[in-house]
Amino acid sequence: MAIWLVNGLRGLFSVLGCVMLATLLYTISTDGLPFRRDLLTPWMAATLVDFYINVVALAAWVSCKESNWVSAILWTILLVCFGSITTCAYIVLQFSKLSSESVQDAIYHVLLRNQSKNGTVEKRTFSPIVTARISFSLLGLLMLGTLIYTLLTDGSPFRKELLTPWMTATLIDFYINVVALSVWVAYKESSWISAFLWIILLICFGSITTCIYIVQQLFQLSSQDPLYLVLLNNGNRKQV
């Protein structure tokens, strides 16, 4: 079962990364570069805000995962520049690093950096739980405000003229990252019903749901707890 999960997720994100790379190359070849003012419609701007708030969440995981700030910064820059292509590459890389022993609890080992010799994850002396609560609360409010403002000023997003080639590519990029976040939510939740509901909310409301979910998880931790514990489900938290 564990091997099946590892191979399945590694295969899934390999395919998704290739899909996004092909989408990017196709869109560039057919519609030119994206760095044009005419592409920045109100709904494209809102979508980019939504996209990059999710990137912040993924970058926070990368920062917890990486053992030094140089590699964390480099991966974060790649996330900002290449979006879900980087997400998929990073996830596939982490699954490829798993040893035969760690495969038995694959998600746990993919989420966290290598364990120390005593079997526990090295803890940081500084635990910015409160800062993270405030940051993701503000990001969620930012996206909610952006959504409401764009609805009021530009109307519904469900209009055919908004679905330009670059908007389509951006949405594919966005939802591949949503897949990654959904895998984490499925791991975190104790029941498939709650996981399913959260994933539906992620699909419908994007980074607003991401922020709500992260803040909710952060409030289950003490302000003295290390930040990386938010990544783990209740069962794995007892191991560290």
The per-residue pLDDT for 118 is 44
DSSP class per residue in 79-148? HHHHTHHHHHHHHHHHHHT--TTGGGGHHHHHHSPPP-TTSSPPPPS---HHHHHHHHHHHHHHHHHHHH
Nearest-angstrom CA–CA distance, 17 and 15? 5
| 113 within 8 A of 66, measured Cβ to Cβ | yes
| 176 within 8 A of 19, measured Cβ to Cβ | yes
Contacts of 198 (CB under 8 A, 6+ apart): 185, 189, 209, 213
Which of 171, 169, 158 is closest to 30 using CA atoms? Answer: 169
Nearest-angstrom CA–CA distance, 118 and 103? 19
The per-residue pLDDT for 157 is 94
Spell out the domain ranges in the chain.
2-112+124-237
pLDDT tens-place values along the chain, 240 residues long: 578 888 999 999 999 999 999 999 999 999 999 999 999 999 999 999 999 999 999 999 999 999 899 999 999 999 999 999 999 999 999 999 988 878 888 888 899 876 543 444 444 445 589 999 999 999 999 999 999 999 999 999 999 999 999 999 999 999 999 999 999 999 999 999 999 999 999 999 999 999 999 999 999 999 888 888 999 987 776 666
The model's pTM is 0.91
| 219 within 8 A of 99, measured Cβ to Cβ | no
The per-residue pLDDT for 127 is 58
Enumerate the H helices of 32-83 as residue ranges: 42-65, 69-82
DSSP 222: -
